Amino acid sequence: MPPNINVVSLVSIGRHPQSGRARRAEQDGRAVELGLTMVGEALTVLHAGNPQNPVLRQYAGMGLPSLTVLDQASSCDAVSVLLRYLRKNPTDIVLTGVRAERGESSGMLPYLLAEQLGWPLVPKVAEIVSVQDGKADVLLALPRGQRRSVQVSLPFIATIDNAAPEARQSAFGPGSRALFSIQKGDNLADDAFMEWKISPAKPRPKRLKVVKAKTAADRMKAATAKPVGGGGKIMKQESPEEKAQAIFDLLLEEKVIR
């Protein structure tokens, strides 16, 4: 793999599901891990927010000599400032988690960046196999351990799935020694976000699963087999218009749009 590509991993402040404490976000950690295995210490790790946040040291403890922080208040939106950075600095691959662990957690950030930059977005990546001649071979994570191989041209944005290799252990010493390159962020407050009220989510009732299997083999099959959907069809040969029409029809049918 050529080390002369510029890889940027975007990291956010995570939230431990049990304690609610700030931590290295699970998927962002994997994005850093993937970046480190690709280009080693040449990796740029980028965070938009408070440079004093101690969680950033947990990312740095993965063996990063430095971390770039776009200094801005946590109430500010990250998209515009990240856009500005990515436009200014030559970048080939942007790695990020699928969604943040706190805040809106909508998973929209990589899409918004890709839209503004006009780059392709590769969702739920398990592995970047190789990068050659301006193209990358990427494995996407599908349910039940399946993978889909796609080829994408640089530059692109990839969101990293939980199927990607786990983030390496964060070591205290290197973490506390890493240097922070702090750049000025935005002062644009995210007004929409400020107006929102945040309350704890109610656990959704779980659908009862009636296991009809009589034998262990049947149960094994029920647990591992791919659920066979009743409807749906695979469209490969059709024109883009036909495909779009099919999606539109489905959305109408499901009453997503009226």
Q: With contact defined as beta carbons under 8 Å apart, do 15 and 28 qualify?
A: no
With respect to other proteins, which residue has the nearer C-beta, 21 or 233? 21
User: What is the rounded CA–CA span in Å between residue 38 and residue 61?
Assistant: 18
Smallest gap, in angstroms, from Cβ of residue 75 to other proteins? Answer: 24
Residues near other proteins (CB under 8 A):
16, 18-19, 21, 23, 61-63, 168-174, 176-177
Tell me the residue length of the chain. 258
Smallest gap, in angstroms, from Cβ of residue 29 to other proteins? Answer: 10
Classify 65 as helix, strand or coil.
coil
With respect to other proteins, which residue has the nearer C-beta, 44 or 170? 170
With respect to other proteins, which residue has the nearer C-beta, 146 or 176? 176
With respect to other proteins, which residue has the nearer C-beta, 17 or 231? 17
Smallest gap, in angstroms, from Cβ of residue 95 to other proteins? Answer: 20
With respect to other proteins, which residue has the nearer C-beta, 157 or 167? 167
Q: Quick one: 54 exposed, middle or buried, by C-beta within 10 A (0-12, 13-18, 19+)?
A: exposed
Residue 66, strand partner residues: 179
H or E stretch covering 242: helix 240-253
Smallest gap, in angstroms, from Cβ of residue 59 to other proteins? Answer: 12
Smallest gap, in angstroms, from Cβ of residue 55 to other proteins? Answer: 10
Rg of the Cα atoms in the chain: 21
